[in-house]
Structure formats: C-alpha cells, structure tokens
Amino acid sequence: MGFARTATLRTAHPYTEPLENIKARRIAWYEHLEGTGIPTFCVMQDIDDQPGLGAFWGEVHSNVLKGLGVAGVLTNGAMRDFGMLAEGFQILAGTVSPSHGFAQIVTVGEPVEIHGLAIEDGDLIHADRHGAVVIPLEALAGLPRGIDVITAKERPLIEAAKRPGFSVKDIKRAMAEADDIH
C-alpha cells in the first residue's frame, strides 16, 4: 500500500524529440518519486495505442525505484526480467514483453487510468497479486473495522467447509451466523 506517484509513458514509437528532453523528463519523474517520506507506489499508464509493446519495468527500474523508496508499480504496460526483479518490489503489469522499445516518460504527476481505474497523484493505493484499488482517504479511519467485519463474516463458512461431513446444512448455519455479525 502506498500513495500514488503518477506518470505516463510511451514505448512503441521511435523518439521524435532531442534525447536531452527525454532524459530531462525521466529525471523529473525520478525526482517526483524520491524521498517523499511516505510509502509510495508508482502508477504508470502506457498511453500508446497498443499498450505494452515495450517493457519499461524489469531488473533496472525495479532496483532504481526500490532504491528511491518506492514499494512497487501498477501499470497497464509491460514488464520483463522475471527472476531478476528487485527483491520485495511489487509489479502489477498488463502484459509481458522482451524489449524495452522506445521507452519515454511523457507526463509526471497527472491523472492516469489503469484498466479502467482512475488514479490521481497522491491517491492511496492498495495493490497485491489480485489487483489494485484506490482507497478514499475519508474511508481510511474505518478501514480496520471494515476488515475485521468482513473477516468475521467469512470465518464461519470457511471453518465449516473444512470440517469432515460438510454439507448444505452447514452452509445455511454458517450463513445465519455470519448475518449476526455487524
């Protein structure tokens, strides 16, 4: 979990501007990520017509961002270098590609959209192997209680299902028990 640091990139087409401009935007992006003092998560939208033709995410950038204190990345773009990623660095990507293509940062700190999820710079993101969600800051105070309630409601059915002789009768009993949890 971390606060979003957003950016957009392209990888599909050759560079059309001086390399100095491309490098300057990448440095601006690194500066945007560096030393915030809070857990951060990079959220990068590949804005090519066909996202993921080139893989920006792999051994190099997982190590660079981990070194800058970033917990992970969420992208609709591509990743590569499985087995060589920085240990403990999370990557949720839209696809896999063997080449970096013509990777270039386009914008930094602007709103992005990853597979239909609208994300603003500074949004609180929870991401794991199952996907990602934006957690509204106003919901943060109630989050621990909500997690406890959901866990308590699921527990009766899971425990019943693990017992020998489990049946629909047990499902009904577990569902009734879960309904009493508020």
15 lies in the same domain as 70: yes
Q: Which domain holds residue 120?
A: 2-135
Question: Which amino acids are annotated as binding site, given as ranges?
Answer: 80-81
**Domain identity same for 95 and 58:** yes
Same structural domain, 120 and 38: yes
Q: Which amino acid is at 34?
A: E
Q: How many domains does the chain have?
A: 2
Give the residue ranges of the annotated binding site for Mg(2+). Answer: 81
pLDDT digits over 6-23, tens only?
A: 999 999 999 999 999 999
Give the predicted TM-score (pTM) of the model.
0.87
Taking the alpha carbons at both ends of the chain, their separation in whole angstroms is 26
Q: Are 77 and 93 in contact (CB under 8 A)?
A: yes
Question: Per residue in 60-100, pLDDT tens?
Answer: 999 999 999 999 999 999 999 999 999 999 999 999 999 98
Of 104, 120, 135, the one marking the end of a domain is: 135
Going from the C-alpha of 113 to that of each of 19, 44, 47, 121, 160, the distances in angstroms are 27, 9, 9, 11, 41
Half-sphere exposure of 123 (CA within 13 A, CB side): 22
In this structure, the answer to whether residues 148 and 130 fall within a common structural domain is no
Q: Binding site for substrate: residue ranges? A: 80
**Together in a domain, 171 and 121:** no
